[in-house]
Structure 1
Amino acid sequence: MDLVLIRHPAVAVEAGVCYGASDVPLAGDPAPESASLAARLAALGVRAPHRIATSPLTRCASVAAALALAHGKTPAADARLAEMDFGAWERQRWDAIERAQIDAWAADFEHAREHGGESVAQFDARVSTWFETLDALEKATVWAVTHAGVIRAVTARALGVPLARCVRWPLEMAAIVWLRYDASSAQWLLARWNA
């Protein structure tokens, strides 16, 4: 199986604003953004998708719909692919959030819920339930249009690395991450990161 994780393109939100679970629009039109992604996927040699999954949030679903149309597919929206819910921090500037709250969150990265939304552990568990539904032995290519947090959580789970480590890896807007399951070694391999 090939699992291709696609981060949504840039959003129409001021830099420095927390917008995790908020449904914010793309900065640009989804059609040309999707065409650009499709060209990059083809240049990488990614096979056409058997299925396309997507976060239900507009910034992902609009891109997934355009990609799916080009491949004669219907995207499957799944709430488990939505970005982490930052509760009271949603739509707030990061530099306007009390420093003590940020520090408390950083001190207990996995379990703190200073914002009242999801803890990283809760978010990771939610995303993992989606990843575990995949049949790694299936000879299929699955594309998932989603968010940076989801991509990091899936990649950490697939590669068996701590999520806290994967969070530090750079991941640009509209980035492509390609995971491939190797049946002979019974493990996931990272084919591309931040492509």
Structure 2
Amino acid sequence: MILYIWRHPKPIAAKGICIGQTDIAVDKRKLKRLANKVERFVRLHRLPKIVWVSHLQRSLGVGQILAQRGFQYKVAPELAEINFGKWDGRPWEQISQQEIDDWCHNFAYFAPDNGENLHQLFERAESWIRARTVESNAERDNKPILAVGHAGWINAAKMIAYEQDVPRVATQWPRSVNYLESSRLDF
């Protein structure tokens, strides 16, 4: 299976905020800019007009714009960013240094209260990827799958594609993809 996934547009007023599954707004012009990129890609490669999105508006909004242009969008909560629990939506400066240190030193398994850890994010990403691979094999069309996702999920998916382990410490985590950037992943 081949997956082309674009990172959502930059959210409004997110600087200095811990953003995971906080449903933060995005400028409509930026949503349209990404929808235009996806639409051009589909037209250029003659692909089906189907795109997967998360339920968070920074991804969902792109799907809704594409739907107005004849696309089908499929909502998959599994594509959402990592859930930072009680940290989500709070300024980083309000999160205790001890909690951040605990997270960095036990990167794979630490989760803020009511949140998920990195290992759980990898399991969620792997489950979604496995389901799409099974569907793709059943249809025997080998058409790439298109999605609009989130930086943490994309990094996890890349590491899964490259058969890398879940990082144990924060320094093993790769740089995030840029907003509106696409990644090709082969599974």
- Report the Cα offset of residue 64 of structure 1: 2.0
Q: CA deviation at 1:147?
A: 0.4
Moved more, 47-56 or 75-84: 47-56
Percent identity reads 25
Instruction: Report the alpha carbon displacement of residue 166 of structure 1 after superposing the two structures with TM.
Output: 7.0
SS in 2 for 1:75: strand
Task: Tell me if structure 2 keeps the 8 A contact 1:47–1:141.
Answer: no
Change (3 A) 1:173 1:115: farther
The equivalent residue for 1:60 is 59
Distance 1:96 1:46 in 2: 46
| Equivalent-residue separation in structure 2 for 1:115 and 1:18 (angstroms) | 14
**Per-residue deviation, residues 121-180 of structure 1 (Å, max 9, x unmatched):** 112111211011022644112101110111111111122023437732341111100123
Q: Give the distance between the partners of 1:3 and 1:68, measured in 2 at CA.
A: 20
Equivalent of 1:153, from 156, 160, 173? 156
Alignment partner of 2:66: what SS? Answer: helix
Shift in Å at residue 66 of structure 1? 2.2
Partner of 2:122: 124
Alignment partner, residue 32 of structure 2? 31
* TM-score normalized with structure 2 length: 0.83
CA distance in structure 1 between the partners assigned to 2:66 and 2:7 by the alignment:
13
Report whether the alignment pairs 1:79 with 2:77: yes
Given that 1:148 and 1:171 are in contact with CA atoms closer than 8 Å, whether structure 2 keeps it comes out as yes
- The reply to whether residue 140 of structure 1 matches residue 146 of structure 2 is no
Per residue, is there more helix in 1 or in 2? 2
- Provide the aligned length of Structure 1 versus Structure 2: 178
Q: Do the aligned residues in 2 keep the contact of 1:21 with 1:84 (CA within 8 Å)?
A: yes
CA contact (8 A) 1:152 1:166 kept: no
1:4 offset after TM fit, Å? Answer: 0.4
Displacement of 1:115 in angstroms is: 3.8
Indicate if the aligned counterparts of 1:21 and 1:83 stay in contact, CA closer than 8 A. yes
* C-alpha distance 104-47 of structure 1, shift in aligned 2 (>3 A): farther
CA deviation after TM superposition for structure 1 residue 119, in Å: 1.0
TM-score by length of 1: 0.80
Q: Give structure 1 stretches of 5+ with no counterpart.
A: 181-187, 189-195
- Whether the aligned pair in 2 keeps the contact of 1:156 and 1:166 (CA below 8 Å) is no
Distance 1:33 1:73, change over 3 A: closer
